Chains A and B, each alone.
Chain A
């Protein structure tokens, strides 16, 4: 299996507070990978480091074969087109309609004709389970769950190889959350991208993740599958998976 992400000995500090102390893990192609941990464990920080929004003090991260340490602007730019991020609250552009939000990356990065771009955007909208009626709505006219779906449709616009999701099911009702998990798995099976999810949701952990790490005390305290986690004899891990 090829590694799409390889994280080696990451150390992160904010001022004098140590957040990550020597963290290493890797993610394989086509895998749905979870980053778990208690509140304040540094999950979002780690995700932001993976997508080059935040620096790390030492160690290295390799994504799709490129090393993020000392990366050139040009490589960073091409790399950014190969991944997509779904932020926790969708981060849709509020001055654009749903359709325009999804079209934006296609208009910016491809030379496709407008008609094809709109057909693609409408298809992606349907892939995330939204009907055409929402195409001309503005983000402020959408519910929280719809925002996430549109955010996902926008993330899928450029057929990313990597998909980063920050708490994709938080704030959704259990049925929608389950549907969202299913959607992610289905899309992965179909399109073959790798998915990195930061989550607290036990249902997601059980049903969608192939493998996950758990951050605890600034270190990775577990790296493996759900079955391995519940059968391990670490009390913290059991509590963590139960308490969630």
Chain B
């Protein structure tokens, strides 16, 4: 059955037969129905509901939309044969009809967008600096009254961020050490410089690979979880609740997390060093036939212990970067839950970015200093 049937009574009088059901299920062709009414101007139109059995909200809104459209074009509308319930329903919906407001999203010019981008960049730097400032202030308070340090929280974060990460760090560092040694072994054997595999492994593993692998893993595990935890607390107003109780969220949330990373990073890097060297030794032994004694002797005799210290020394800096960035992104959460997803992504990416920038700066500085 057709939804609608238009009959001309004479040139200016029309009768519109409304079909039997006007519901969500039957109105998928509403656009074509509307089209039939587009060119009717200044007519007298009768809506005949004699066949109409059911009207739901979709049907009512559609009929009213057509009616309003016709009235705007100067037509006169009357209903006939309408049952009382339908008439009540239509007038109820008619009372509530409202137009969608225009969505005014401002289009920016290219130059405006650049300006906006720069200003937002500066604001970002400003926000970050004020975050760091607040954290240093909390640190100062802790130096004055060290008994306020949240030791339990600190231990908890040492456990979740570091101790639980030992397994994966060991496995990955072992594999990386193995791969580096394996890649070099073939070449060194060719030039007859077998024992130099120890030099190469120590150089790359101690100085660069272990700290970076550890930093990457800790970023993936901890920067993301710090952001998600703190962001959720921000949205559920837990942080506001803390502040109103006079509890400093920096002392409760930020400092224990950041310190847990700063303190544990050197240990994790040391573990990574050992695992990496184990991997390298395995390759040296089976590929190049270097014995454990030779391997260790070479390590002790030839290699400056600086390699180890440099790697361990820069790891707390990475820890600080990861912790601070993770917490900072968490504090940026506002309003809705989907901001947390975005912030977690940002937190991981920017923590890694700054870790690697920092690594490059340290590498250049140390070369200049000749270490």
Tell whether A and B belong to one assembly: yes
Residues of A near any B CB (own CB < 8 A): 94-95, 99, 106, 109-113, 115-116, 118-120, 122-127, 131-133, 135-136, 138-141, 156, 158-159, 190-191
- Once the chains are docked, how many angstroms separate the CA of A127 from the CA of B89? 12
Given contacts A123-B93, A127-B96, A136-B101, contact A159 B28 (CB under 8 A): no
Q: Residue B103 at the A interface, CB < 8 A?
A: yes
Q: Is the CB of B28 within 8 A of A112?
A: yes
Q: Residue B10 at the A interface, CB < 8 A?
A: no
Q: Is the CB of A94 within 8 A of B336?
A: yes
Of the stretches B40-48, B57-65, B222-230, the one at the interface is B57-65
Q: Is the CB of A122 within 8 A of B99?
A: yes
Q: Give the residue of B93, B101, B334 whose beta carbon is less than 8 angstroms from that of A135.
A: B101
Q: For B62, what are the chain A residues with a Cβ–Cβ distance below 8 Å?
A: 116, 119
Interface centre among B27, B98, B103 (most CB of A within 10 A): B98
Q: Is the CB of B96 within 8 A of A123?
A: yes
Q: Is the CB of A140 within 8 A of B57?
A: no
Q: Is the CB of B336 within 8 A of A190?
A: no
- Once the chains are docked, how many angstroms separate the CA of A119 from the CA of B61? 7
Given contacts A95-B336, A113-B30, A140-B335, contact A119 B100 (CB under 8 A): yes
Query: When each residue 47-75 of chain B gets 1 if its CB lies under 8 Å from chain A and 0 otherwise, what string results?
Result: 00000000011100110010000000000
Shortest distance between the CB of B309 and any CB in chain A (Å): 49
Q: For B58, what are the chain A residues with a Cβ–Cβ distance below 8 Å?
A: 110, 112, 116, 120
Q: Is the CB of A110 within 8 A of B25?
A: yes
Given contacts A94-B337, A116-B65, contact A132 B100 (CB under 8 A): yes
Interface centre among A106, A119, A124, A125 (most CB of B within 10 A): A119
A selection of 28 A-B contacts at a CB cut-off of 8 Å is A95-B338, A99-B100, A110-B28, A112-B27, A112-B30, A112-B58, A113-B30, A113-B31, A115-B30, A119-B61, A119-B62, A120-B57, A120-B58, A123-B61, A123-B93, A123-B98, A124-B57, A124-B96, A131-B98, A132-B101, A133-B101, A136-B101, A138-B335, A140-B335, A156-B57, A159-B56, A190-B88, A190-B89
Q: For B99, what are the chain A residues with a Cβ–Cβ distance below 8 Å?
A: 122, 132
Q: Residue B365 at the A interface, CB < 8 A?
A: no
Interface size class of B (residues with CB under 8 A): 20 to 34
- Once the chains are docked, how many angstroms separate the CA of A109 from the CA of B58? 13
By Cβ-Cβ distance, the 9 closest A-B pairs, closest first, are A140-B335, A94-B336, A111-B28, A126-B96, A95-B338, A132-B101, A140-B336, A110-B24, A126-B98
Q: Is the CB of B24 within 8 A of A112?
A: yes
Given contacts A94-B335, A116-B61, A123-B57, contact A132 B98 (CB under 8 A): yes
Q: Residue B136 at the A interface, CB < 8 A?
A: no
| Residues in B22-36 with C-beta less than 8 Å from chain A | 24-25, 27-28, 30-31
Q: Residue B117 at the A interface, CB < 8 A?
A: no
Q: Residue B97 at the A interface, CB < 8 A?
A: yes
